[in-house]
Amino acid sequence: MWEEKEFLICVKTYPEYSSKYIETVCTAAVLKDTGQLIRLYPLAYRYLIGERQFHKYQWVKAKIEKNPKDYRPESYRIQPSTIRVGRMVGKQQDWRLRKKLVLVQRFINIRKKH
């Protein structure tokens, strides 16, 4: 079931050609509400139109759903037409805020579950 979620993009891979998806980019993000690390695939990043092209360390809102064809718990699909980009996090030289959001907050949320 598709749900709108907000997440911070933290990794984008180099484009890979695919016979099934033309060209894809595997993208990793951290969900804002839970701190869970997710994998967004497939995503034809080069073909996203204008404002839908996001950058690393940028907040994004979009509809995502657990990928039913992928057994990995972190794998989600994304509806490219629903992508709305938000603000960038930190400056290129300011890694403290990025570290807090990607590593520290995620660690705190994991510890709360156990």
Please provide the DSSP assignment of the chain as one string.
--EEEEEEEEEEPPPEEETTTEEE--EEEEETTT--EEEE-S--GGGS-GGG---TTEEEEEEEEE-TT--STTEEEE-GGG-EEEEE-S-TT-HHHHHIIIIIHHHHHHHHH-
Does this model's pTM top 0.85? My answer is no
Q: Would you state the pLDDT for residue 109? A: 52
Q: Would you state the pLDDT for residue 25? A: 75
Map out the domains of the chain as residue ranges: 3-113
Q: Would you state the pLDDT for residue 18? A: 63
Q: Would you state the pLDDT for residue 61? A: 97
pLDDT of the chain, 114 residues: tens digit per residue? 999 999 998 887 766 666 666 677 778 999 998 888 899 987 777 677 778 888 888 999 999 999 998 899 999 999 999 999 998 887 666 767 777 777 655 554 545 554
Task: Give bridge partners of residue 64 from the DSSP assignment.
Answer: 3, 78
Q: Would you state the pLDDT for residue 3? A: 97
Q: What is the CATH number of domain 3-113?
A: 2.40.50
Q: Would you state the pLDDT for residue 77? A: 92
